[in-house]
Amino acid sequence: MDSTRIAATADERIAAILRAASSWATEAPPALTPAIKAVCIRLAEMVADQRHYLAPLPEPQESERRAVLTLVAEQLRRGPVAQELRTHLDALAELELRATGSWSLVASAQTEWVERAIEYLDRACRAIPAEERPDQYWADDVVAGIIASVKGIIGADDLHARIEAQYAGQGRPPVKRDD
């Protein structure tokens, strides 16, 4: 594996994640940008940590992807962007936003994460003057958009399909029909 190429690819993914966060923050008041970035960074870190559940690629691509996602998760956890957003990331942690490895496997953990992310953004919204606040459902829209963006950037679009195939055995049970 070429460590220079892996580091460059990880940097590209992180830059894309930050662009997505900035994009989702464009329609919100500037005071909410750090909170939106923090939600995006936390989700990207969690999705990158789920690299073991992605559909496997042929070697050497699988080893490279795993190395890239390991580096992405580590940089998002401890790198410069994490230091810049430390206050917001710590506040998210207080809401138990950081999930365990079961995040990708347990639907209730995913739902809990979405609820905590929306709650965090709503709290940030309440901290700004009322006349600057976006509509009441903006946090729901931003979190949904962040989820779609991060999964696309990380390459985790197949995550749920892979998990379902892994744990469903022979697939979904047939649906009984009342013909």
Give per-residue pLDDT as tens, 121-164.
999 999 999 999 998 889 999 999 998 888 888 876 654 444 44
| In a domain? residue 178 | no
Average pLDDT over residues 98-112: 60
pTM of this structure: 0.78
Q: Maximum distance among all alpha carbons in the chain?
A: 61
| In a domain? residue 174 | no
pLDDT computed for residue 46 by the predictor: 82
Task: Report the chain's mean pLDDT, rounded to a whole number.
Answer: 81
Phi, psi of 170 (to 5 degrees): -85, 15
Phi-psi region of 96 (alpha: psi -120 to 50; beta: other; left: phi over 0): left
Q: Where are the alpha helices (DSSP H) in the chain?
A: 3-25, 33-49, 61-78, 80-84, 86-94, 107-126, 138-154, 159-167
| In a domain? residue 62 | yes
How many domains does one find in the chain? Answer: 1
Ranking 26-40, 88-102, 143-157 by mean pLDDT, the lowest is: 88-102
In which residue are the tokens 């073991």 written?
A: 52
| In a domain? residue 95 | yes
| In a domain? residue 81 | yes
Using the predicted structure, report yes or no on whether residue 103 has a pLDDT greater than 70: no
Domain range for 105 = 3-167
pLDDT computed for residue 176 by the predictor: 53
| In a domain? residue 87 | yes
| In a domain? residue 143 | yes
| In a domain? residue 177 | no
